[in-house]
Structure 1
Amino acid sequence: MNTSTAQFSRAVRAEIESSWRRSVLSGLRPESAVDRLNIAEFDPRSRLLVASAPVLDELAVRLSGTTFCIALADSACRIVDRRFTDLRTERALDQISAVPGAQFTEENAGTNALGTPFEVMRGVTVHGHEHFVEALKTFSCYGHPIRNPVTRRIEGVLDITGVGPEANPLFPPLMQRAVEDIEQRLWEGARQSEKRLLQAFQDTARRRCRAVVAFGDELVLTNRAALDLLEPSDHAVLRDITSGAPTSGEFARDLVLGSGAPVTLRAQKVGGTRDGVLVELTPRSRPRVPRGLPAGSRKSTLDGRLKELRSSGEPVLIAGEPGTGRTRAARLVVGDRADLVDAADLVVLGERQWAERLDSTTADALIVERIELLPDALCARLTRRLAENPRVVLTSAPQADLPAGARSAAAICPTRVDLPPLRNRDDEFAEIAHTMLTELRPGARIAPSALEALIAQPWPGNLRELRGVLRASAEHRTAGDITIRDLPAAYRTTGRTARLTGRERAERDAIVEALRVTDGNKVHAAQRLGISRTTLYSRMRAFGLPR
């Protein structure tokens, strides 16, 4: 009998036994270490922390002179605050990674008074011997979930911990009263925030005839003009775009709605609210429909531009990150009957046979894929081919990343199209996702909440990654709309990226690009960015990038 199985043979409460089983299924063992849990950054101005601060201050005063500790976790079960008055308790907690930023889920730390209440959604007492991981058995604790008073979703967990074999019977009533106080403060804060948002919406909608939308944490307000103009998927797109609005002043940009209507968006934050944004939409005149596309078509302007290049008769370069649809774009330029030669085949064919394949193509048009992989000699040969037969489309990595030989071949192309990464196509995202999902499962739709979560993802794999996520979601949901619960677990949260400003997104993209170019070497990436390695690690944590 192994150690994990032996634990179940002891007489324990049913809720603790269930927690142990979940811990085993997560891959934990009693001897698992918890002294090196991953530490992530969190928002120190979150509504949970703002509402909890006075309550935690009062608890700290009441517990002065004791060895008890109060810990607060957020909706990701990540510790965001802790209070204690005994330095020995602080050192003991530091040794088990019970520090701000550490995620104390059952999956990471086994049975504990943060992760277990979060899992079972009710208050739980955990005596010392009831912890699954040996390193936690020194402590006894009680944790109680904090619920959002409006949505009833769990906002966090409040925990009291002491050193000793048995939890104090006064723990539950003390924590339950504190949780009630926090929930009341959350309610009061939500009401004040919603009142300010409603007032700003009414003032703007009353003065103007244009479409007006107001977004809050759990609230969306629209006037009749906006109701007629917007489709359900537009709300997710607008919320993502306006998350980058500055804290003061107006934010403006042009976009095309899901219906194909072009509008100018103006947004500004609503003072006195946590995330309230007021949006005005002004219709613009419809753009000229590209030749060959029927009136009313919702095809993207990028597709229209690519098809217009069919009559150019000149070499074309299609550049972009992997997964951005370079092959599809090349086919739109030259059609499906063009010959295709891929530089990735060099590994199998060798340079000589690959060159022979290049020279032996007989179709009127030719696509040469991934030219950044070609050695200089073959780049020179390709350049000569371009001069002889200009009906060629090249695809490549972003132009800034091309080596010298590939750059010389690209320079022969008078027309160059840069495909944007999916993370920068927020106003087109809903249409792209809908088109992909229709191909995978005709008639299926994506619920706005699921679409909002998808838009917020960084999408390093671009369109290829999105197709994989939608395929998995469609297989999970055989009927009805795809909801956020149907998405793979890693894609269900809006995450930190959804709240990044435009400058922060640019900074995050620069870090991702530097890591890609340096094959993940942090020292070289920091040198490339002109920052210290410590600063690089700090910004990676802030943006939720894997280390």
Structure 2
Amino acid sequence: MNASTAQAGRATRAEIESSWRRASMSGLRPEAALDRLSIGEFDPRSRLLVATAPVLDELTDRLAGTTFCIALADSTGRIVDRRFTDPRTERALDRISAVPGAQYTEENAGTNALGTPLETMRGVTVHGREHFVEALKVFSCYGHPIRNPVTRRIEGVLDITGVGPEANPLFAPLMQRAVEDIEQRLWEGARQAERRLLQAFQHAAQRRCRALVGFGDELVLTNRAALDLLDPSDHAVLRDIASAAPGSGELARELVLGSGAPVTLRAHKVGGTPDGVLVELTPRARTRVPRRRTGPRLSTLDSRLAELRTSGEPVLIAGEPGSGRTRAAHLVAGARADVLDATDLVVLGEREWAERLDSATAEALVVERIELLPEALCARLARRLAERPRVVLTSAPQPDLPAAVRSAAALCPARVDLPPLRNRDDEFARIAHAMLAEVRPAARIAPSALEALIAQPWPGNLRELRGVLRATAEKRTAGDITIHDLPAAYRNTGRSARLSGRERAERDAIAEALRITGGNKVHAAQRLGISRTTLYSRMRAFGLPR
């Protein structure tokens, strides 16, 4: 029995037809079981939950003695709270996984009053027969989106559900009034947080003459010294770094701004705000405002590679796929170097590959992806390295190398470990603008788009970033690239941008385990010592691709 058959003979509203079509296209079937939806984590102290708690308390009191349920989902469709007064309602909800932590999107649960309002961006009534999944047809419900009163973005959905074939006509006005109360509380909370940030900023500005920046959710404050010192792209980098500031105490870090000015950054959270941060910048150069450079600025990494080019010794360049190993190798070896790639073994065979290794006569030799070499060729490579010729090797991160490869790599006196892109936040703006200039000279990435890009985990590193920028530049042929021009999967600035230092380390460990296991979730979970369910939950929380 399919969705269209179930609706035969009944008039179907257009918004329900569209919802069923979306659910079907996602691969969901009407007979799908909902008793085992995966459960993810959420922040119990989020602004949404703080603002809704009193409203939900009042609704619960008003619904006492009924079998109705109130559910609250966040902007991803994940249930973060539910209220009821009848234990039978609780058991019925548990049977369909309508519990805190479950993601009730149309993709997971079909047409429903939590996921469908997120798609339509307006209030939706769903009568029993209009649910896509058979298990939900005993319920009728109404859901209304909750919008941030400042940004007008959807923060969540408030839903009321009852058992029966038809939704009560009073559902809609009841939820609409409750949503108005919640949005008012969000507004008051935002205004209060902004006032506290402004007070903290003014107090700090009175005591210091250094560059000062204050970051709130939708507010950025700067004094004149910061205005003179910072490029627009610096704001996204500073916000990303400052988001790791501890709840108490101070984050200190040295970095180089887009202008080339070296500064010391100190950041601390503003009490009484969900994400307010004050950042103080102290130039480490004598002049407060550096002279603008006319040419590209060399990074510390590029300077190190330039030094190695004159050393004449074997060099190992290690890093994740896409981290720029080939480019780095050619910066060291020069444009006239011979190149051997271990992937060519498939075509050449071991004998011819070894002969090419021995017969290379150029000034320098680059050997790529040595982690793929068999043991016999590792020994052959080791003999070549022992002669101390100009050889540059590229490989996966050193801890991942087989024993025979590590033995050969150990003969390189000079080693460069290329950091993954997710750990290069203070260089990110320079890297992104340089890549974009290759496609659209003089183009600019707006700070909001840069902030979203910095927040991504980038498992494909530089190669992935280059692909995203190329696709975006082809779509936006004039004007600044804004966050709305980015592919949908790269627009999120929420969770990833607010990760603590511990959470970032956890995210990196998961990404590394997935890379080592070739994306096999079972093996990655075993490697990390966690269950597969926990792995999926953490991947969703950190925005890692599945």
Structure 1 length-normalised TM: 0.93
Q: Distance in 2 between matches of 1:3 and 1:129?
A: 10
Is the Cα contact below 8 Å between 1:40 and 1:544 reproduced in 2? no
Q: Distance in 2 between matches of 1:113 and 1:526?
A: 34
Over the matched positions of the two proteins, sequence identity in percent amounts to 85
Answering whether residue 336 of structure 2 is matched by residue 329 of structure 1, we say no
Residue 377 of structure 2 corresponds to: 378
Q: SS where residue 100 of structure 1 aligns?
A: coil
Post-superposition shift, 1:18?
Answer: 3.5
Residue 467 of structure 2 corresponds to: 468
Bigger CA drift: 228-237 or 494-503?
494-503
User: Which consecutive unaligned segments of at least 5 residues does structure 2 have?
Assistant: 288-292
Is the Cα contact below 8 Å between 1:4 and 1:30 reproduced in 2? no
Residue 269 of structure 1 corresponds to: 269
Is the Cα contact below 8 Å between 2:35 and 2:95 reproduced in 1? yes
CA-based RMSD: 2.4
**1:34–1:193 CA distance, 2 compared to 1 (3 A):** same
Q: Distance in 1 between matches of 2:29 and 2:405?
A: 52
For 2:414, the aligned partner's letter is T
For 2:477, the aligned partner's letter is T
**1:143–1:528 CA distance, 2 compared to 1 (3 A):** closer
Residue pairs, 1:18-417, within 5 angstroms: 18-285=18-285, 297-417=296-416
**1:305–1:286 CA distance, 2 compared to 1 (3 A):** farther
For 2:384, the aligned partner's letter is R
For 1:323, the aligned partner's letter is G
Q: Distance in 1 between matches of 2:276 and 2:370?
A: 47
For 1:150, the aligned partner's letter is V
Q: SS where residue 457 of structure 1 aligns?
A: coil
Bigger CA drift: 51-60 or 494-503?
494-503
For 2:428, the aligned partner's letter is F
Post-superposition shift, 1:427?
Answer: 0.5
Residue 14 of structure 1 corresponds to: 14
Is the Cα contact below 8 Å between 2:194 and 2:216 reproduced in 1? yes
Q: Distance in 2 between matches of 1:530 and 1:79?
A: 27
Structure 2 length-normalised TM: 0.93
Is the Cα contact below 8 Å between 1:310 and 1:334 reproduced in 2? yes
Q: Distance in 1 between matches of 2:529 and 2:154?
A: 41
Post-superposition shift, 1:220?
Answer: 0.7
For 1:485, the aligned partner's letter is H
Residue pairs, 1:429-444, within 5 angstroms: 429-444=428-443
Residue 457 of structure 2 corresponds to: 458
Q: Distance in 2 between matches of 1:530 and 1:108?
A: 27
Deviations 1:42-78 (A, max 9, x none): 1111000011011111111211121100000111222
Answering whether residue 469 of structure 2 is matched by residue 503 of structure 1, we say no
Q: SS where residue 258 of structure 2 aligns?
A: coil
Q: SS where residue 416 of structure 1 aligns?
A: strand
Q: Distance in 1 between matches of 2:129 and 2:523?
A: 47
Bigger CA drift: 110-119 or 399-408?
110-119
Post-superposition shift, 1:88?
Answer: 2.2
**1:531–1:100 CA distance, 2 compared to 1 (3 A):** closer
Deviations 1:98-132 (A, max 9, x none): 22222222333332212222222222221112223
Number of residue pairs matched by the alignment = 541
Post-superposition shift, 1:143?
Answer: 1.1
**1:523–1:5 CA distance, 2 compared to 1 (3 A):** closer
Answering whether residue 491 of structure 2 is matched by residue 492 of structure 1, we say yes
Is the Cα contact below 8 Å between 1:128 and 1:164 reproduced in 2? yes
Post-superposition shift, 1:474?
Answer: 1.7
Q: Distance in 2 between matches of 1:514 and 1:3?
A: 40
Q: SS where residue 278 of structure 1 aligns?
A: strand
Bigger CA drift: 322-331 or 109-118?
109-118
Q: Distance in 2 between matches of 1:359 and 1:465?
A: 35
Is the Cα contact below 8 Å between 1:4 and 1:24 reproduced in 2? no
For 1:16, the aligned partner's letter is I
**1:532–1:3 CA distance, 2 compared to 1 (3 A):** closer
Post-superposition shift, 1:449?
Answer: 1.3
Q: Distance in 2 between matches of 1:3 and 1:254?
A: 59
Deviations 1:362-396 (A, max 9, x none): 21110001111112211111111123352110111
Post-superposition shift, 1:526?
Answer: 5.6
Post-superposition shift, 1:521?
Answer: 5.8
